[in-house]
């Protein structure tokens, strides 16, 4: 019978994320958001200490960039020191954002920190009371883009008297929703006959396989933009012989949420503002700082007032007017207008906009569109490769522009 173990599985800390798109916020709010990744990681470590876990697994992208700031490294070291004081080990792999080929000032980590090789998949043994209890396998990225399927290098060493835990920063082969690095097939991981797979890279929390073994993404510990909505955190994993369980621990310092508000039945913009303010008040009662996106939907006469960018900007400023002095804030970061005027609510228009949305969602030729630009010397000098997330964001913005342009033409709004 194996000894029981408990551990924290976290990934995608993205310490020192710049949050460049939010620099327009009031300084005190932006500073709180900028510090949110550090505060979230501190919560991870506090949870590990409170739960008296045996060790912590960090499955890649500890830093947001390959040039790790000294600030981020010192913050990380401080938290590792907290674990060292209570005898908790830390096992680390580096991913595509914080690969080992980057440039940084190298710090000396405390002895409880174990970083996996970037040359081959490596096995490290966790000892409990001087007895081998777990074999932990991992691989750190040597460069930003690792396209090779590394699963064949994960090979069990030793017998079934210890737990076998794999750490892998990558995504399912063929997944088109994210940049694909270290691609794998779920069946490949299952066939390794490990007891647990601690995955990283995907920022959405999900269990790919529920038992024998559990294959899990904990998601990132702190949302960084409006598409990373909801609670973020890590898994507390408990293993006893052949059984294992996961418990989600919330760690976000700032939460991102999106709310749909229908304009159906509203006769004035003032009524819409009251509806927004009521929603904001509900989030304020949670006591958690919130970055909020409103998506206006439905059909109504006030839709015509929502078609101009200036109106949307005025609404944003009005809704955020009282928030700048509050410590626990609710800040409206974006308003999406998806409304129609009654005259626009016809089958042909709705069909076209539906087809437009589907085309954008399934678009596969982004590289072909920008290929002529890539040949330009200015582009080569100043523009780095777009990630899949950045491509999707650009396509979404193009969709919104076309959507707005069409509705303006339908409503007779002329550009000046």
Q: Are residues 184 and 272 in the same domain?
A: no
Q: Are residues 261 and 242 in the same domain?
A: no
Question: Can you give the CATH number for the domain in which 109 is found?
Answer: 3.60.21.10
| pLDDT at 288 > cutoff 70 | yes
Write out the residue range of the structural domain in which residue 34 sits: 5-250
pLDDT-derived band at 415, boundaries 50, 70, 90: very low
Q: Are residues 129 and 271 in the same domain?
A: no
Least confident of 124-128, 130-134, 412-416: 412-416
Given 227, 250, 273, which residue is the final one in a domain?
A: 250
pLDDT-derived band at 325, boundaries 50, 70, 90: low
pLDDT digits (tens, 9 = 90+) for 177-221: 777 899 999 999 999 999 999 999 999 999 999 999 999 999 999
Give Rg (Cα) of the chain: 24
User: What is the average pLDDT across 114-122?
Assistant: 97
* pLDDT at site 88: 98
Q: Is residue 262 part of a domain?
A: yes
* pLDDT at site 165: 98
Q: Are residues 285 and 386 in the same domain?
A: yes
* pLDDT at site 224: 95
Q: Is residue 416 part of a domain?
A: no
Q: Is residue 211 part of a domain?
A: yes
CB 232 within 8 A of CB 40: yes
What is the number of domains present in the chain? Answer: 2
pLDDT digits (tens, 9 = 90+) for 32-88: 999 999 999 999 999 999 999 999 999 999 999 888 899 999 999 999 999 999 999
Q: Are residues 407 and 292 in the same domain?
A: yes
Q: Are residues 45 and 108 in the same domain?
A: yes
* pLDDT at site 342: 79
Give percent above pLDDT 90 in the chain.
70
pLDDT digits (tens, 9 = 90+) for 379-393: 655 565 666 666 766
Q: Are residues 246 and 101 in the same domain?
A: yes
CB 237 within 8 A of CB 9: yes
Q: Are residues 162 and 267 in the same domain?
A: no
Give percent above pLDDT 70 in the chain.
82
* pLDDT at site 48: 98
Alpha helices in 129-288 (DSSP H): 186-191, 269-284
Q: Is residue 13 part of a domain?
A: yes
Q: Are residues 159 and 229 in the same domain?
A: yes
CA dist list (Å): 303 to 68, 164, 279, 351: 47, 58, 20, 19
* pLDDT at site 183: 95
């Amino acid at each position: 019978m194996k000894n029981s173990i408990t551990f924290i599985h976290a990934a995608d800390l993205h310490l020192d994320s710049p949050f460049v798109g939010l620099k327009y916020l009031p300084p005190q709010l932006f500073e709180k958001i900028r510090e949110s990744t550090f505060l979230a990681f501190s919560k991870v470590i506090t949870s590990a200490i409170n739960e008296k876990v045996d060790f912590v697994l960090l499955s890649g992208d500890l830093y947001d960039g390959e040039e790790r700031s000294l600030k981020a490294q010192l913050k990380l070291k401080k938290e590792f020191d907290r674990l060292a004081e209570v005898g908790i080990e830390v096992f680390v792999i580096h991913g595509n954002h914080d690969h080992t080929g980057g440039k940084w000032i190298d710090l000396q980590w405390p002895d409880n920190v174990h970083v996996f090789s970037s040359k081959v998949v490596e096995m490290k043994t966790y000892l409990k009371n001087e007895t081998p209890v777990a074999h932990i396998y991992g691989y750190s990225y040597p460069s930003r883009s690792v396209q090779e399927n590394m699963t064949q290098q994960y090979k069990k060493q030793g017998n079934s008297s210890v737990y076998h835990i794999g750490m892998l920063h990558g995504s399912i082969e063929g997944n088109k929703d994210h940049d694909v690095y270290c691609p794998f097939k779920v069946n490949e991981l299952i066939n390794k006959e490990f007891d647990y797979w601690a995955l990283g890279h995907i920022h959405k929390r999900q269990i790919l396989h529920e038992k024998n073994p559990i294959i899990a993404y904990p998601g990132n510990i702190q949302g960084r933009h409006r598409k990373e909505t909801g609670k973020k955190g890590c898994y507390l994993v408990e293993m006893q012989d052949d059984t294992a369980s996961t418990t989600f621990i919330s760690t976000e310092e700032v939460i991102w949420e999106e709310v749909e508000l229908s304009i159906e039945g509203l006769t004035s913009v003032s009524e819409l503002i009251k509806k927004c303010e009521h929603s904001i008040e509900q989030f304020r009662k949670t006591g958690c700082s919130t970055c909020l996106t409103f998506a206006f939907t439905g059909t109504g006469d006030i839709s015509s007032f929502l078609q101009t960018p200036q109106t949307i900007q005025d609404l944003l400023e009005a809704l955020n007017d009282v928030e700048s002095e509050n410590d626990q804030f609710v800040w409206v970061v974006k308003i999406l207008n998806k409304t129609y005027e009654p005259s626009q609510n016809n089958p042909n228009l709705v069909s076209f906009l539906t087809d437009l949305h589907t085309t954008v969602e399934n678009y596969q030729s982004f590289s072909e569109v920008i290929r002529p630009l890539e040949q330009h010397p200015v582009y080569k000098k100043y523009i780095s490769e777009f990630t899949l997330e950045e491509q999707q964001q650009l396509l979404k913005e193009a969709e919104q522009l076309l959507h707005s342009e069409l509705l303006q033409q339908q409503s007779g709004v002329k550009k000046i």
